[in-house]
Amino acid sequence: MAGKIRSITNPRLKLEILRPEDVRRIHSATLDVIESVGVRFPSPLALDIWEEHGAAVDRDTMVVRVPGAMIEEALRRAPPAYTLAARDPAQDLPLDGNHVYVGTDGCGVEVLDLATGLRRRSCLQDVADIARLADALEEIAFNWVPVSAQDCPAESRGVHELRALWRNSTKHAQTESIYSGREARAGVEMAAAIAGGREALRKRPILSIMECTASPLGQDGGSLEAALVGAEAGLPVGFMTMASCGSTGPATLAGNLVVGNAEVISALALVELAYPGAPVFYAAAQTAMDLRTGAYSGGGPEDFLFGAASNVLSDFYNVPLSMGSFATGAKEPNWQAGIENSLSTLMASLVMSDMLLGVGLLHGSRIWSYEQMLMDCEIFDIVCQVMSGMVVDEETLALDAIRAVGPGGNFLKQRHTKEHIRDLWVPRLLDRRPYEVWEARRDGARDWARTRAQELLSTYHPQPLDPALDEELGRIIAAVEASEVSR
Amino acid sequence: MSEELFQVMAQSIVDGDVDLAKNLAEQAIGQDIDPLEAINRGFVVGVNYVGEQFARGDMFLPDLVLAGEAMKAAVAALEPEMARRGTERTMLGKVVLGTVQGDIHEIGKTLVGTMLSASGFQVYDLGVDVPTDKFVAKAREVGADIVGLSALLTTTMLRQKDVIEALARAGLRPKVKVMVGGAPVTASWAAEIGADGHSEDAIGAVGVAKNLVGA
């Protein structure tokens, strides 16, 4: 029942963006920063762990300074490869350095309504609908919580969102919307219920957790605690830096990498100190700020460069990478969205980033568009095809066919052509029709994307959750809400 | 002679040279120049130039911020002399600023503070993770015209509503205006919670604040 998943594998293209000595310098500079400038860890629990292991901890400022050797030793414990499990094992995702997978994005606050086209606030039903659509699309390998369920109470929103993902898709769930120890514990309980127990969950983690750092050189307290809860249960956890040139990082690209790198590897090291061997991942969505407003731009040459550079760093540390590659700053599915999402995805794919985020969001990951989701899937499809490169062998050199056609003529009726024509790419949304056909209808990618989304949403049925399981998830959510009331 | 000094003062702002601006301010005091003159004919000219260049896209946010820092330094150096002479700079209004409780994100809020300060507002920045009642207490204490609230998470954004309600319960509304901002904050959210203004960025925030005080 569960559909197959498209990924990039065995690539024929590669990109060199940082030389080995560049990476070493960035790494040295990062260790220097962590050791002499420090990183802020605003969580008593995290500070305890650092102190226990001998790092210099300032309880007043909550800044930790850690010797480089401790960071390096901790990171060596991180497993270089592991699998993100799905409710359906056929949809498991091995993060082995030889796969590029795409997921949805998060966390938006508004939705371009599929029926009316109007912009409105996001709600739980959107989380459910998007997960169901993602379940139907082979380009989507894993589900993020794409928009905030703003009609759910703040203190239990994260777990309502998780349940919506699991009710509507069998694919792996990765959440960026759980940033308290409380909700993380509930999330682990829910995942364990679905996986068949805590040990089963540890062997097959159907949930992973991503947390954002607080640039420059800081973390968020609740996020640290949530990550530690996840790691204890064996869930893959990752930390994402969004340090951006000029505002939360230096204006120069290498310096911005250093700041982001210091945030991420210090957090990953903390997790490894607490739970040696815990599966962790590096995550990044660095960019240059908008020069006028200081805002996160979500596109542009710097964005594309960072999209590739981060994976070179994560390879150096031998951990998987999650890259915020899509996520355009465009306000609607237009030219800008096309450029930004294509170039960022291509760059991130050329270096084989393990997880790419996030189809479907506009305006710096704030507004969900079903049309954009489908259009982003087409972009990934194109990139997959490009990454398979060109094979040069006797069959592809096609000398027999060339001799048969000779000067003039064409290859249309050659046997060789019939045999290989289906290797060529077929667009779903790019318009290659004759001009008059377009002129008569004046329709295009956005319309076809919308239609496809509507069709899928009205006909596709995901594998439902076992009713007993669904009830158990409800019980866990209710317990979270009850505990909040009694606080 | 003063004319030359005023030009150098303006340039120090344009160059964002904090130390030079402070030194020139002290020089002005030493030369018995009226501090308000130094501000209005010297330093503010630089602020206005940077503002114009910024509007044309020839200068950028860091230029603006550095100019703001230099302006702050110059004004701080001149304040004792203004107090001694009994003169006061006309401020556009008083703004209490902070990131709401449970949220530690600060760069946007800090940027708004710098822009407001450079534009002639008196800013009281309470920092991050500010409890609701602290906003109310400070607003009352300083006689605030505006309270500015920042939040980056959809969950902490809800506290913006709490602050507005608390200000109302304290009898400070509608006199005290409230502006809200932060990545998840939309115009419709601002309207829904009864905020008086909203901006997606710090530059826009200055315009909103000026409108709210009728400047």
Contact B57 A292 (CB under 8 A): yes
Residues A272 and A402 in one domain: no
Question: Which two three-digit tokens encode residue A328?
Answer: 């355009």
- pLDDT per residue over A21-59, tens digit each? 999 999 999 999 999 999 999 999 999 999 999 999 999
pLDDT range class, residue B115, cuts 50, 70, 90: confident
Task: Tell which of A402, A423, A444 closes a domain.
Answer: A423
Mean pLDDT of all residues in B117-130: 93
Rounded to whole angstroms, the Cα distance separating A394 from A48 reads: 64
pLDDT range class, residue A299, cuts 50, 70, 90: confident
In total, how many domains does chain A have?
2
Question: What's the pLDDT at A1?
Answer: 44
- pLDDT per residue over A328-343, tens digit each? 999 999 999 999 999 9
Q: Does A153 touch chain B (CB under 8 A)?
A: no
Contact B60 A292 (CB under 8 A): yes
Residues A183 and A319 in one domain: yes
Residues A325 and A220 in one domain: yes
Query: Choosing among B59, B104, B111, B152, which should be mutated to test the A contact, i.e. which has the most A CBs within 10 A?
Result: B104
pLDDT score of A148 more than 70 = yes
Residue with tokens 């008083």: B94
Rounded to the nearest angstrom, the minimum Cα separation between A214 and chain B is 7
What residues make up the domain containing A412? 394-423
Residues A416 and A431 in one domain: no
Q: Which residue of B has its CA nearest to A215?
A: B105
Task: Tell which of A403, A423, A443 closes a domain.
Answer: A423
Residues A158 and A253 in one domain: yes
Which ranges of A351-466 would DSSP assign to H, the alpha helix? 370-387, 394-397, 399-405, 415-420, 435-441, 445-459
Question: What's the pLDDT at A223?
Answer: 97
Residues A3 and A71 in one domain: yes
Rounded to the nearest angstrom, the minimum Cα separation between A346 and chain B is 27
Contact B111 A294 (CB under 8 A): yes
Q: Does B184 touch chain A (CB under 8 A)?
A: yes
Contact B155 A157 (CB under 8 A): yes
Question: What's the pLDDT at A327?
Answer: 83
Q: Does B55 touch chain A (CB under 8 A)?
A: no
Question: Which two three-digit tokens encode residue B210?
Answer: 């000026």
Q: Does A214 touch chain B (CB under 8 A)?
A: yes
Q: Residue A369: enclosing H or E segment and its boundaries? A: strand A367-369
Rounded to whole angstroms, the Cα distance separating B57 from B49 reads: 12
Cβ-Cβ contacts under 8 Å, B189 against chain A: 121
**Between B60, B108, B200, which is nearest A291 by CB?**
B60
CB pairs under 8 A between A and B: 55
Residues A452 and A401 in one domain: no
Of all residues in chain A, the percent with pLDDT exceeding 70 is 99
Q: Does A484 touch chain B (CB under 8 A)?
A: no
Rounded to whole angstroms, the Cα distance separating B86 from A421 reads: 87
Contact B186 A154 (CB under 8 A): no
The answer to whether B2-85 and B93-212 have equal CATH topology is no
Query: Choosing among B154, B156, B198, which should be mutated to test the A contact, i.e. which has the most A CBs within 10 A?
Result: B154
Question: What's the pLDDT at B215?
Answer: 82
CA atoms within 13 A on the CB side of A417: 9
- Of A297 and A459, the structure prediction assigns the larger pLDDT to A459
pLDDT range class, residue A358, cuts 50, 70, 90: confident
Facing residues of A64 across strands?
Answer: A39, A57
- pLDDT per residue over A158-204, tens digit each? 999 999 999 999 999 999 989 999 999 999 999 999 999 999 999 99
Mean pLDDT of all residues in B121-139: 97
Question: What's the pLDDT at A105?
Answer: 84
Residue with tokens 């503002």: B51
Q: Does A263 touch chain B (CB under 8 A)?
A: no
Of all residues in chain B, the percent with pLDDT exceeding 90 is 82
Predicted structure pTM score: 0.92
Residues A341 and A312 in one domain: yes
pLDDT score of B51 more than 90 = no
pLDDT range class, residue A298, cuts 50, 70, 90: confident
Q: Is the peptide bond before B93 cis (omega within 30 degrees of 0)?
A: no
- Which of these CATH numbers, 1.10.150.110, 1.10.1240.10, 1.10.3720.10, 1.10.10.10, describes B2-85? 1.10.1240.10
Question: What's the pLDDT at B175?
Answer: 95
Contact A220 B60 (CB under 8 A): no
Residues A324 and A400 in one domain: no
Q: Does B111 touch chain A (CB under 8 A)?
A: yes
Q: Does A248 touch chain B (CB under 8 A)?
A: yes
Cβ-Cβ contacts under 8 Å, A294 against chain B: 61, 107-108, 111, 201-202
Q: Which residue of B has its CA nearest to A290?
A: B61
pLDDT range class, residue A2, cuts 50, 70, 90: low
Q: Mean pLDDT score of chain B, rounded to an integer?
A: 94
Residue with tokens 């709210």: B212
Rounded to whole angstroms, the Cα distance separating A448 from B30 reads: 73
Q: Which residue of B has its CA nearest to A120?
A: B188
Residues A413 and A337 in one domain: no
**Between A154, A179, A289, which is nearest B158 by CB?**
A154
- pLDDT per residue over B80-114, tens digit each? 999 999 988 889 999 999 999 999 888 889 989 98
| ipTM for the complex shown | 0.84
Question: What's the pLDDT at A439?
Answer: 96
Q: Does B61 touch chain A (CB under 8 A)?
A: yes
CATH of the domain at A444: 3.20.20.480
Q: Mean pLDDT score of chain A, rounded to an integer?
A: 96
Fold assignment, B93-212: Rossmann fold (3.40.50)
Question: What's the pLDDT at A487?
Answer: 53
